[in-house]
Amino acid sequence: MPQHLPARELQIKVIPKSSKSEVVGILGDGTWKVKVAAPPEKGRANEELRATLARHFGVPVRDVEIVSGETSQRKRVRIKGLS
């Protein structure tokens, strides 16, 4: 039987083509601001976002899922293993 980890959904604002990939902080409306070095082409910025969030929260990349906003700077992301 698969183990179900607690998950948390976050609102994210992504800034692509930045000088480095990092979680910048939380905006006034509760949205997380994340810079990624990758350009928004062929899903590269999304993959970089997943990797950056995984590194920040200490979870595997496979536990970070983009729920909505694949082609937008504003995304909803589910991260397993967070409560």
* Residue 5 confidence (pLDDT): 66
Residues making up the chain, counted from first to last: 83
> Is 46 contained in some domain?
yes
Q: State how many domains the chain has.
A: 1
pLDDT in tens, 34-47: 999 999 999 999 99
Is position 1 within any domain? no
Query: Does 19 fall in a domain?
Result: yes
- The confidence band for 81, taking pLDDT boundaries of 50, 70 and 90, is confident
pLDDT for the residue numbered 6: 83
Spell 22-46 as b/e; 16+ CB within 10 A means b: bbeeeeeeeebebbbebebeeeebb
CATH code where residue 41 lies: 3.30.1200.10
71: confidence class by pLDDT, cuts 50, 70, 90: very high
